[in-house]
Amino acid sequence: MNMSIVTVDFDGTLYQRNSVMDMLKAGQKVFSIKQWCFIILDFLMGLVKRTKGEKAEVRIVLLKAFFYQMRGKTEDDIHNFFKSIAATGRQGVNYDLVARINEHLKNGDHVIIMSGALQLFLEELIKQLNIRADAIGTPLFFDEHGICTGKIGEIVHGADKVNQLKLWIKKNDISGKSIWAYADSESDIPLLEFADKAIVVQPSKVMKKIAESKGWEIFAQS
């Protein structure tokens, strides 16, 4: 059996909702008005830094401001937070794509859900969907006592997805396999070009034209 490595993007691909917006909504039950004021202030300060030369995306600035207010929470607190988001977010899952993923798993393929979304969120949703897959996402850091520091790592985005995939292949000592990539946006083009088989999911008009020009498969929900 010729096994493959299958990467699946999250936001806009496997997950048809916006994970950042879902986290903000969940934060309404977690943060006080004072904490929301700090989030807004940190976010605005982050935007000012962007205008002075920093290249961070607006989404990244917002995530950093949001999770800084999570500092001091335990691992259980954080896991419960993501568990609640995943439970409500399941209705936004692309279940046609889940069926395709399960076909890959039956063939013995290695599936990796890869995204700029938080690693813990990816792991929780994978668990709730009962998908046998690895996750490569943005890390949230804890200290030696399991207390959240409020800091997040580098966002897994754009060309960095290719680098992260190469590291995963090296770490798991799995080489010589064909690589499939399911993704939806222009930021995923480096990964789609790196893959042996590129599948564009629910593309925008612009992305559809790019896919057609490159001969990539287009996967749409039924």
* Distance set, CA 71 to CA 26, 68, 102, 140, 164 (Å): 16, 6, 37, 10, 27
The kind and range of the H/E element at 191 are helix 189-194
Bridging pattern class, strands 4-9 and 140-142: unpaired
Query: 69 near 38, Cβ under 8 Å?
Result: yes
Question: Rounded to an integer, what distance in angstroms lies between the CA atom of residue 41 and that of residue 171?
Answer: 40
Residue-level pLDDT at 220 = 83
Question: Rounded to an integer, what distance in angstroms lies between the CA atom of residue 95 and that of residue 90?
Answer: 9
3-state secondary structure of 30: coil
Query: 65 near 43, Cβ under 8 Å?
Result: yes
User: 182: number of CA atoms within 13 Å, CB side?
Assistant: 26
Edge-to-edge strand ranges of the sheet holding 134-138: 134-138, 110-118, 4-9, 178-183, 197-201, 217-219
- Residue 30, Cβ neighbours under 10 Å: how many? 15
Residue-level pLDDT at 46 = 86
Question: Rounded to an integer, what distance in angstroms lies between the CA atom of residue 137 and that of residue 153?
Answer: 9
Strands (E), 71-207: 110-118, 134-138, 140-142, 148-152, 178-183, 197-201
Q: Is 32 left (phi over 0), alpha (psi -120 to 50) or beta?
A: beta
Query: 139 near 152, Cβ under 8 Å?
Result: yes
Question: Rounded to an integer, what distance in angstroms lies between the CA atom of residue 158 and that of residue 187?
Answer: 5
Angle among Cα 135, 114, 126 to the nearest 5 degrees reads 45
**Single pTM value for the model:** 0.89
Long-range contacts made by residues 125-130, C-beta under 8 angstroms, separation at least 24? Answer: 125/15, 125/86, 125/89, 125/90, 125/93, 127/86, 128/86, 128/87, 128/90, 129/90, 129/93, 129/98
Averaged pLDDT in 10-residue chunks for the chain of 222 residues? 88 88 89 94 87 68 92 94 89 93 95 93 93 94 96 89 94 88 94 96 92 94 68
Residue-level pLDDT at 138 = 92
